[in-house]
A = this chain, B = another copy of it.
């Protein structure tokens, strides 16, 4: 059964979103969709869920106002449904954010599929389960997609969109366009990968951090400071690939591999590196060239420098212009 959206339902005409599960992530989605001007119906079976959701939206709203609300956006456009069926009955889009438990999500998605009007896409916020494993119990798996957000969903733009083997590509496309209309930055994946893309990267970093704490090699505070005072300042606006390409100087990623390539054999982390063969080297060099476009090395350096300055300013970390650290001032 291929997915086919209701003829009247385009990604831009959707107005009502059902948010199933209203914890930190589900509640964050609620706040996001409300701020972007949607009607939202939430449902969560936990006893204090409505109360917690209210607290979350109330706490987030001032930030969302500062960020700029869509016309007509209001926390009053949230309805808390008493049943799952009621929550999705009029939905134009369904976002599932139940606890990260395969069996639970599989059953819940099957139940949502039964209750949701035909032609409506249902997305799961799963942090890493492939949709192929989640959609096995659903009568119509073709409209089930992953729409994986980052915390808090009302502020972090990224959402990773990917289908399972039984998802219709039209549902993936519909969801990607809908999220874009809803103000998200969408990364559409053409294949399933446990942890998707961003979580695979941040999980690698996180696991190394856990190993270091487990072995007494660094404290929680060391780890956090090493990122916020270091690489984290660049990663807010320039990704790890382009950042490392600049570390290669005017020679870019190619020089970077010539210089630091051998370090991939060093025990700098517990994760083994892949073989740095010609194909990988070319893929990285070409990928960075594509990312750079017609910007020269000097352009990129100027852009990175202004970017870091903007971040330092935004986080109140500019050095004091009158310089308490001037050489010769009292020690």
Residues of A within 8 A of B (CB): 10-15, 23-24, 36-38, 59-60, 63, 66-72, 99-100, 127-128, 150-152, 155-158, 160, 180-183, 185, 187, 189, 191, 193-195, 197-214, 217-244, 246-249, 259-260, 262-264, 266-276, 279-280, 283-284, 286-288, 290-291, 298, 301-302, 304-315, 317-323, 325-331
Which residue in chain B gives the minimum CB-CB distance to A260?
B100
Specify which chain B residues have a CB less than 8 angstroms from the CB of A260 in the assembled complex. Answer: 100, 127
Residues of B within 8 A of A156 (CB): 229-231, 233-234, 308
Contact A290 B221 (CB under 8 A): yes
B325 touches A314 (CB 8 A): no
Instruction: Return chain B residues, CB-CB under 8 Å to A317.
Output: 157
The answer to whether B160 and A220 touch across the interface, beta carbons within 8 angstroms, is no
**Can you add 7 more A-B contacts, CB < 8 Å, to A24-B248, A205-B205?**
A15-B327, A37-B326, A66-B306, A71-B326, A100-B259, A187-B229, A228-B236
- 29 A-B pairs with CB atoms under 8 Å apart are A12-B331, A63-B302, A68-B321, A71-B326, A99-B259, A100-B259, A128-B266, A150-B230, A181-B327, A187-B225, A187-B226, A189-B218, A189-B222, A197-B212, A197-B217, A197-B222, A201-B269, A202-B230, A202-B240, A203-B268, A203-B271, A204-B270, A206-B244, A207-B269, A220-B290, A227-B240, A235-B235, A236-B236, A269-B271
A127 touches B263 (CB 8 A): yes
> Is the beta-carbon distance between B224 and A269 smaller than 8 angstroms?
no
Are B100 and A263 touching (Cβ within 8 A)? yes
- Tell me the nearest residue of chain B to A177, going by C-beta: B331
Chain B residues positioned under 8 Å from A219 (CB to CB): 287
A298 contacts which of B59, B249, B301, B314 (Cβ < 8 Å)? B59
For A11, the closest partner residue in chain B by CB is B331
| Contact yes or no, A201 B183, CB < 8 A | no
Asked whether, in the complex, the Cβ of B225 is within 8 Å of the Cβ of A239, the reply is: yes
